[in-house]
């Protein structure tokens, strides 16, 4: 491989780069060439690319190719038409310029007629008009026998000053008129060419065909992409369904566990309420027993009081009586302690 580097003195420096150290001869060069052809760049491979986006890009690229090719052809055709229109416009301007100059000369001729006071119906004017018709050889005129005879007569006669000046102006006028007609004819020919080109374009309608082809490519790609999206959606639905099923099972298990906890708390509450009710019933029975003992003690005390008031010697009573009274008092103290214990149990 040679690299040519330009310098100010226009000298070339040739640098030889040897890429195959052991390659020699035709066989080695061929092997190296095949190796280069077999080389694949990882960047050209569609690795980790969205297949839907990749398919859409391929379709867009193909559709754009159709349109670009047709647009290139149409652009050249449009350029040709623009060039023709430009020439056509120049010819129209040229025709208008010549018509203006011809009209200016016609106005001068009319001014001469008025200046020389020539009647439009006079013989001098009629002879001038006949001479003007015969003065321009490229005009296609036909003359009657009388007009031809009169022209022969005028050939041998001198023209009036008015006729000479007017005839000279007319020749120049006809020159400008002929130029204007030629420019108009050419502009008309160019218009016909534009029309023909337009008709041909309508026949082949490359851009329309390209757009239709591009539309078909995009429609086909759209169908393929829809299929890919449907398959992707199916996979997503399956995954979502499995996730929701697992989530529902988990929620059902959690709900069952929560219901068991609620049932257990309910049973514990009922058991506690039963215990409280039993304690209340026991407390009620204890209170009844206490009230009965207190009643007996009061009756006994009252009895003893009555005996004392009656003059009976309670103190001198037998030991058995005293022991009984003492036993009564002890029972009353015991009952009082039991009552306090019951109150503590109720608070707990």
pLDDT score of 314: 53
Containing domain of residue 171, as a range? 52-204
Nearest residue to 130 (alpha-carbon basis) of 157, 98, 100, 103: 157
Asked if residue 333 belongs to a domain, the reply is yes
Chosen domain end from 204, 237, 262: 204
Same domain, 257 and 310: yes
- The proportion of the chain whose per-residue pLDDT surpasses 90, expressed as a percent, equals 25
Helix/strand/coil percentages in the chain, nearest 5:
80, 0, 20
Q: What is the pLDDT of residues 53-77, one digit of tens each?
A: 887 788 788 777 767 776 677 678 7
Can you read off the two tokens belonging to residue 93? Answer: 């301007």
Chosen domain end from 180, 204, 228: 204
Asked if residue 249 belongs to a domain, the reply is yes
Same domain, 178 and 230: no
Same domain, 261 and 197: no
Question: What's the whole-number mean pLDDT along residues 111-133?
Answer: 93
Distance CA 131, CA 46 (A): 89
What is residue 17's DSSP assignment?
A: -
pLDDT score of 119: 93
Tell me the pLDDT band of 16, cut-offs 50, 70 and 90. Answer: very low
**Maximum average pLDDT range among 8-22, 122-136, 283-297:** 122-136
Chosen domain end from 170, 204, 238: 204
pLDDT score of 109: 95
pTM for this prediction? 0.41
Same domain, 193 and 232: no
Same domain, 252 and 168: no
Q: What is the pLDDT of residues 138-183, one digit of tens each?
A: 666 688 899 888 988 888 889 999 999 999 999 999 999 999 999 9
Asked if residue 9 belongs to a domain, the reply is no
pLDDT score of 178: 93
Place of tokens 């790609």: 221
Task: Give how many domains the chain has, as a whole number.
Answer: 2
Angle formed by the axes of helices 123-135 and 161-204, nearest 10°: 50
């Amino acid at each position: 491989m040679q690299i040519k580097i330009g310098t100010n003195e226009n000298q070339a420096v040739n640098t030889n780069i040897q890429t195959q150290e052991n390659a020699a001869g035709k066989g080695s060069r061929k092997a190296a060439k095949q190796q280069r052809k077999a080389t694949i760049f990882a960047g050209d491979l569609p690795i980790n690319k969205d297949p839907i986006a990749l398919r859409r890009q391929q379709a867009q690229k193909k559709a754009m190719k159709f349109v670009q090719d047709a647009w290139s052809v149409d652009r050249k055709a449009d350029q040709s038409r623009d060039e023709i229109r430009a020439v056509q416009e120049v010819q129209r301007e040229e025709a208008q310029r010549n018509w203006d100059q011809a009209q200016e000369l016609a106005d001068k001729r009319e001014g001469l007629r008025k200046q020389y006071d020539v009647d439009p119906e006079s013989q001098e004017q009629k002879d001038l008009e006949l001479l003007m018709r015969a003065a321009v050889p490229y005009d296609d005129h036909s003359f009657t026998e009388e007009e031809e005879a009169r022209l022969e007569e005028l050939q041998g006669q001198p023209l009036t000053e008015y006729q000479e000046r007017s005839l000279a102006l007319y020749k120049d006028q006809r020159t400008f008129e002929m130029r204007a007609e030629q420019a108009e004819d050419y502009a008309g020919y160019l218009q016909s060419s534009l029309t023909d080109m337009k008709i041909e374009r309508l026949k082949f309608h490359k851009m329309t065909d390209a757009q239709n082809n591009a539309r078909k490519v995009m429609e086909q790609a759209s169908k393929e992409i829809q299929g890919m999206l449907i398959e992707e959606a199916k996979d997503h639905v399956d995954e979502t369904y499995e996730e929701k099923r697992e989530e529902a099972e988990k929620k059902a298990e959690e709900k069952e566990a929560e219901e068991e906890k609620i049932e257990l708390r309910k049973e514990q509450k009922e058991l506690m309420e039963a215990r409280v009710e039993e304690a209340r019933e026991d407390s009620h029975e204890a209170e009844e027993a206490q009230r009965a003992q207190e009643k007996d003690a009061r009756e006994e005390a009252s009895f003893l009081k009555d005996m004392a008031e009656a003059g009976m010697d309670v103190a001198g009573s037998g030991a058995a009586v005293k022991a009984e009274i003492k036993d009564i008092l002890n029972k009353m103290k015991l009952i009082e302690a039991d009552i306090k214990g019951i109150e503590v149990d109720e608070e707990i």
